[in-house]
């Protein structure tokens, strides 16, 4: 699947026999991506803190015919990450998705808020990628897709810790890609635009805000979670074997218009 050379005749989007580890898989973007891989034959490792929610997603994936392993994981606990990932078998694809957000005026942001967001979104993502990459290096192949954001590129008032963490994801992706490509590991990222999830639902309760956002999106609508999974699977597939260190912005043209 992650062939590093060849004519392109082996390009496939069939993930049968491949193991895909999705963090933050209990809801939202992670759930959607996990179920999409399940439909294409992948064996899934689903990671998140909420075991009950993970079990529900696992049942959905099993109903699609996928083999599923549940991994309760606290992304702010580095030792938890190292010990739990070390006990996993081989991993072909990591979707490094877990994250948190809390909008607060910057003058009111405190150390606890900063640590909660940055430790989860950036530090945790780094150590998950590091732990998984050690396995991929042993195998000589693998694909890591990190979750960046529009805030990796533009400033959003009230979201400074989040923007800092996601800007860090962009830099982390490029540096990992440059260092790990010789090991057979491809590292890329996606940057979703405006998508309604449990984490962002509070914004979507404001109809005026929604209308304002849509007016700035050339596609004329907000994103649907299904708009993300195809790009993730492309980056994980052999079709993207020469794509390294890139971030694909999935925003309906929002940043292009700016």
The answer to whether 149 and 192 have CB atoms below 8 angstroms apart is: yes
| Annotated catalytic residue 254 | no
Can you tell me the distance from the alpha carbon of 6 to that of 197, in angstroms, rounded to the nearest whole number? 39
Task: Please report, for residues 17, 21, 102, 161, 219, the alpha-carbon distance to residue 67 in angstroms, rounded to integers and kept in the order given.
Answer: 10, 12, 34, 37, 36
> At a CB cut-off of 8 Å and minimum separation 6, what does 171 contact?
none
DSSP secondary structure code for residue 106 in this structure? G
45 has which bridge partners? Answer: 21, 69
184 with 140: CB under 8 angstroms?
yes
Q: Which of 153, 162, 194, 254 is catalytic?
A: 162
Query: Exposed e or buried b for every residue in 93-132, given b needs 16+ CB within 10 A?
Result: bbbbbbbbbeeeeeeebeeeeeebbbbbbbbbbbbbbebb
Phi/psi of residue 243, each to 5°?
-100, 115
Task: Give the catalytic positions in this structure.
Answer: 162
């Amino acid at each position: 699947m992650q062939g590093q050379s060849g004519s392109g005749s082996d390009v496939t989007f069939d993930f049968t026999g491949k193991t895909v580890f999705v963090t933050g898989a209990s809801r939202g973007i992670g759930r959607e991506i996990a179920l999409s891989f399940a439909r294409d034959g992948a064996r899934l490792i689903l990671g998140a803190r909420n075991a009950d929610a993970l079990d529900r997603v696992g049942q959905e994936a099993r109903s699609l015919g996928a083999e599923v392993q549940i991994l309760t994981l606290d992304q702010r606990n580095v030792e938890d990450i190292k010990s739990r990932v070390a006990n996993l078998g081989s991993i072909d694809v990591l979707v490094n998705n877990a994250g948190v957000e809390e909008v607060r005026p910057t003058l009111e942001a405190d150390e606890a808020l900063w640590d909660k967001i940055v430790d989860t979104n950036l530090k945790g993502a780094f150590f998950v990628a590091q732990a998984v990459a050690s396995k991929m290096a042993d195998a000589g192949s693998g694909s890591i897709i990190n979750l960046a954001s529009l805030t990796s590129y533009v400033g959003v008032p009230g979201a400074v810790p989040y923007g800092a963490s996601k800007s860090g994801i962009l830099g982390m992706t490029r540096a990992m890609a440059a260092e790990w490509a010789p090991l057979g590991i491809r590292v890329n990222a996606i940057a979703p635009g405006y998508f309604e999830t449990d984490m962002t639902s509070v914004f979507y309760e404001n109809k005026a805000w929604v209308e304002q956002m849509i007016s700035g999106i050339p596609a004329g609508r907000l994103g649907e979670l299904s708009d993300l999974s195809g790009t993730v699977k492309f980056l994980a597939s052999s079709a993207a074997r020469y794509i390294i260190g890139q971030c694909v912005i999935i925003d309906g043209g929002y940043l292009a218009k700016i």
